[in-house]
Copies of this chain bind each other. A is one copy, B any other.
Amino acid sequence: MLEKLDLSKKVSKEEYNRQMEVLGERLGKAQRMARDAKRPIIIVFEGWRGARRSALINEMMQQMDARGFNVYSSVRLRGVMQEQPFFGAFWKRLPALGHIAVYHRSWYYLKNANELADKEDNTKYPAVSFEHINNFEKMLTDDNYLVLKFFLHLSPEQQKKNIAKNAKTLGKAWRDLNPAIDESEDYDKFLPHYEKMLEATDTVNAPWHLIADDDPRSARLEVFTKIADAIEKAVQMSAEPAADKRTAATYDVLSKIDANKELTKEEYKEKLDKYQKKLTQLQIEMFKAQIPVVIGFEGWDAAGKGGAIRRLTAALDPLGFHVHPIAAPNVVEKQFHYQWRFWTKLPQPGNIAIFDRTWYGRVMVERIEGFAKPQEWQRAYDEIKDMEAQWSEHGIAIAKFWLQIDKEEQLRRFNDRQNDPNKQWKITDEDWRNRDKWDAYEAAVNEMLVRTDTSYAPWTVVEGNNKYYARLKVLKTVIDLFERKLAEKQQ
């Protein structure tokens, strides 16, 4: 792809200034249009060392409003990459609705460095597959993000010149502070690698723009024009893609579950004590092994999620776990992709994140209540599986519980709450409204349990009519997970 670029284009200073007078206004206006249309934008600058990324970005900043405009560099992110799944750092820096995030080197740079840096250096860079990259970008563009990717191309001669000039004007200090790979010693080795990357990630939804950067003025005019064009077009074309045609599949999991399991209070007390002591020990070992844990709880209203979570956390040191109650997204969370609030709550190494309701709200309440459009919740199954796969590949242990009670048991518990003054705050009109939609929820739960049950993030359906039984099953499942992960780590 790169050899087709005409690197000989040149623009005079006068011509550049003349064009920038118009283009600068257009850029500022495009930013305001995107803000009004609430379109978030990610602009990625990759390319050779010596390409004039910083000067280009700075010129763009001169034309644009600093509000909602952020510049990041993957060179600076290197230190925080290892403590989270690859895209965690980028989720945390996701632009909000109407905002712009500019990457001076991005996920592509980190992948390249992992594959191309010197042996002693490349372990500092995390690995990532083209598939995860394409999925990440697709998920964003599907959600109305605009993803613009530029590769600044240099001839080997120009690259040598630029690097020499930087060394002269900025001094050795700059070189020390900017540890990016220097390809100029062996240009031809790197070229096919970059070509392959461009090919593998040149997608319909997030295509690459190849820019001849031997003449930086011509490069800037081209980049700014493409940015203004893309934003103007995106804002005008904000029409929604149609939902896929879909044959309603019928899944049947819950009806085969008998939610009644027997357990006496005495058996419960004895085993609870035993399991909790075991968990206290295992938490310490998991911390020592630095294995992060994600435990998600879903289930019918009044199925006993809160009680099960309390029996679990009672055994844990409060410094090593955090319970995240998940309700409808708040005003900030609504500014982002639905996965954002979960990526930003991932546990530190050795810590446990417990979610009281989870990302599966996308395919349950958001589906049923129409908060997500059909095409949105339909693609969410794959999106969620990819998210959990990334977490798992990073070493996060994942457990997901569905607490199952039958409809009569729910009614009994609702009435109990209603009649006990100390528990009335626990039950709301919404609970009763949800109950009226039992059948719709049941269909959604069935589909979720079938389509998102994976080896790396399996569902555990917990028979919940007997609370004692349910709590012990949760504890035992977590114990088994911890023991399995510790054994894997020791191998």
Contact = CB atoms under 8 A, between A and B. Distances in A.
Interface of A: 25, 32, 54, 57-58, 61-62, 65-67, 70-71, 73, 75-76, 102, 104, 170-171, 173-174, 176-177, 280-281, 284-285, 287-288, 309-310, 313-314, 316-319, 322-325, 327, 331-332, 356, 422, 425
A277 to B, nearest CB: 9
A200 to B, nearest CB: 27
A178 to B, nearest CB: 9
Closest 10 CB pairs of A and B: A66-B323, A67-B325, A71-B318, A57-B318, A73-B319, A173-B288, A173-B284, A66-B325, A58-B318, A54-B317
A173 B281 CA distance: 10
Contact of A58 (B57, B71, B104, B314): B314
A280 B177 CA distance: 14
A171 B284 contact: yes
B288 A177 contact: yes
Contact of A170 (B25, B102, B284, B318): B284
Contacts of A425: 32
Contacts of A171: 281, 284
A319 B104 contact: yes
Nearest to A422: B25
Which of A58, A285, A319 gathers most chain B CB within 10 Å? A319
7 contacts: A25-B422, A54-B319, A58-B316, A61-B318, A66-B325, A173-B288, A174-B284
Given A25-B422, A32-B425, A332-B332, A322 B70 contact: yes
A173 B289 CA distance: 10
Nearest to A325: B67
Nearest to A68: B325
B285 A356 contact: no
A325 B356 CA distance: 36
A61 B317 CA distance: 11
A313 B62 CA distance: 8
A461 B467 CA distance: 69
Contacts of A356: 66
A62 B319 contact: no
B71 A313 contact: no
A89 to B, nearest CB: 15
Contacts of A57: 318
A177 B284 contact: yes
Given A58-B317, A66-B356, 18 more contacts: A57-B318, A58-B314, A58-B318, A65-B325, A66-B309, A66-B324, A71-B318, A71-B319, A71-B322, A104-B318, A104-B319, A170-B280, A173-B284, A173-B288, A174-B284, A177-B287, A177-B288, A331-B331
Contacts of A319: 54, 71, 73, 75-76, 104
A239 B412 CA distance: 43
Nearest to A332: B332
Contacts of A67: 325, 327
B313 A61 contact: yes
A284 B171 CA distance: 9
A471 B102 CA distance: 27
A320 B313 CA distance: 43
